[in-house]
Amino acid sequence: MPALPEADSAALVLRLLLDDPSVDPGRIDWRVVGGMARRDRVPQRLAACLRRRGVRVPPRFADAVARDAARRDHLLSLAARLGETCERQGIPHVFLKLRQPYPDAGQDVDLLLADRSPAADHTVLDHLSVIRGQRRLHHRLAATTTYQVPACAAVLDLHHGRLGRLGEHARGADLVLRRRTLARVGSVTCFTPSLEDQLLLQAVAQSGGRRTLRLGDVYWTLATLRGGRVRWDALLPAAELTGLLPGLSCHLDYADQIHERLFGRSLLEAGIRGRLGRRAWGPVEFREGSYRFPVVRDTARLCLQQLRDRLAAGDWAPAARLCLYPVVAVGAGWRRPAAS
């Protein structure tokens, strides 16, 4: 069988993950899909999907799935220890990206703390052996501190009461902390964002200059919206209140474009689309190994829209931070893509 183009392989993986019965798993080109699934954080979900269909995965991919599962379990153990420490010390907290990719693992552990002082790190880390990363200007503005955790080969990002590249989403952080839910993630019970706030975190990533969309994030958004469990009357007012409506609109528009390409129909109802405000975001397409979009144009539009909204609302603190975007972007270089 001739090899599928990479874009077609990505579409095939998404349709498999979304349980499309018309897809033939025999068309998988493992030379492409194996690396794609690992890179885009869906190996566990893809392997589980194929097992349900009675399809045997190649030994090389099975080995990669086992290694990924071991790494995931290390991250969960780290999260369990951090959560127990926060509970013991009475520090409100929430793990931002632990539940969404499960049973796959994210790249790191992101922990949002209600305590805005970096001094809280000493309490939270509680004799954990870590190596603190260099704290540049944008880290200070965003109120984040990054640590390497050699024991589990993980990166730990502590967010102190703020979200966003420059910490412009303090209201969003407060909302996520206030609406957090206690959830079971594998062997760990921990605080995670509500379903609606997990979508808002996608909007934060989109607003912060995310360069690509991983298959894992695309799949999660499509599956969440197709599942019909989103409380739009909770999500949309929260997005407006926190200044994240433009970012949410952009992210959902990209998801809608991908869904329409996969299944020939829109993902969003007309009423929801109208409430999001159609802003004709750029096209999204799969090329060079990822779903890509006009990141410079869209990020600039999102920043300007957020700035106008915050000024109109008299919300001066986040507006001032947004004004610093060009300065900090040039100064920091921002070689590392925005976390998603």
Give the tens place of pLDDT for each residue, 126-164. Answer: 889 999 998 888 888 889 999 999 988 889 999 999 999
Radius of gyration for the alpha carbons in the chain, expressed in angstroms and rounded: 20
Q: CA-CA distance, 178 to 194, in Å (whole number)? A: 10
The domain ranges of the chain are 83-193, 194-340
Which residues, other chains included, contact 178 with Cβ-Cβ below 8 Å and sequence gap of 6+?
none
pLDDT surpassing 70 at residue 315 = yes
Mean per-residue pLDDT over the chain, rounded: 90
Q: What is d(CA 107, CA 148) in angstroms, rounded to the nearest whole number?
A: 12
Joined together, the tokens standing for residue 264 give 């020939």
CA 81 to chain centroid:
22
- Residues 140, 122: Cα–Cα separation, whole Å: 17
Kindly report, residue by residue over 84-101, the tens digit of the pLDDT. Answer: 999 999 999 999 999 999
Architecture field, domain 83-193: 2-Layer Sandwich (3.30)
Of 5 and 173, more confident: 173
Residue 299 and residue 335: Cα distance in Å, rounded? 15
**What one-letter code names the amino acid at 328?**
V
> Closest Cα partner for 201 from 190, 191, 192?
192
What per-residue confidence (pLDDT) applies to 3? Answer: 58
* Residue 310 Cα distances to 5, 139, 183, angstroms: 44, 22, 33
DSSP states of 176-222: HHHT-EEEEETTEEEEE--HHHHHHHHHHHHHTT--EE-HHHHHHHH
Specify the pLDDT at position 328. 63
Q: Rounded to two decimals, what is the model's pTM?
A: 0.91
Going by C-alpha positions, the residue among 227, 199, 226 that lies closest to residue 99 is 199
| CB of 318 closer than 8 Å to CB of 169 | yes
Q: What backbone torsions phi and psi does residue 145 show, to the nearest 5 degrees?
A: -135, 135
Identify the DSSP state of 127: T
Taking the C-alpha atoms of residue 114 and residue 98, their distance in angstroms, rounded to an integer, is 18
Sheet of 131-132: strands edge to edge? 93-95, 109-113, 154-160, 144-149, 131-132
- Categorize the per-residue pLDDT at 330 as very low, low, confident or very high, splitting at 50, 70 and 90: low
pLDDT confidence of residue 257: 95
